[in-house]
Amino acid sequence: MIFKGFKRKSTQFFFNKQLRKLLEDSKKHESYKLQNSVVFLNESSNREAVLQSISEHLGLTEDNIDVVIFYNNINKKNTCENCFSSKDFGWFGKVKSDVLKAVLTKKYDLLINYSKVENIYCKLLVLQCEAALKVGFSEVDTRLYDIMIDCEISDTALFNSELKKYLEILNKL
């Protein structure tokens, strides 16, 4: 039990170090149209409803959307292809899962984090993921995202319609 606390603290230390580097580096974005995206969900989210809403509002097909789901405890009931938990991370935030390594090495046009839960492992993935534009809720760590939308987690249609407005302003759709 005590090692879980040490592991979480080492991951938090790594996150803070990487965040400082990210904030020091200035990102320059090219003008592009959205081709693919990655979506981070937590275990309480409805995957199908979120995918349908994204496809409807942003015009992306479900083949171009990668979904990664965080579970507090993964067991045989909730195993899926792109699921992860704290067990998929080692000391100092090192990713052990091959699925997560594949997500982190792929370049995305858009990252959407539907999780409002303060979770160091989700924040670490958002930080390390190579996405040109990162979108999340305004109640979580604001340093990680380019666009933050203030609405309820259960209202994915409102979130996606607001996101569509911002993406149209930025000429990404």
Q: What are the sequence ranges of the domains in the chain?
A: 2-169
> Can you give the pLDDT at residue 157?
81
135-163 burial, b for 16+ CB within 10 Å, e for fewer? Answer: bbbeebbeebbbbbbebeeeebeebbebb
**Strands of 147-149's sheet in order across:** 83-84, 65-70, 37-42, 107-113, 130-137, 147-149
Q: Are 167 and 145 within 8 A, CB to CB? A: no
> Can you give the pLDDT at residue 172?
85
Give 10-residue mean pLDDT values along the chain (173 residues): 73 79 61 85 82 87 90 70 85 87 92 84 89 87 87 83 91 84
HSE toward the beta carbon, residue 153, CA cutoff 13 A: 15
Supply the pTM of this predicted model.
0.82
Q: Are 87 and 74 within 8 A, CB to CB? A: yes
CATH architecture of 2-169: 3-Layer(aba) Sandwich (3.40)
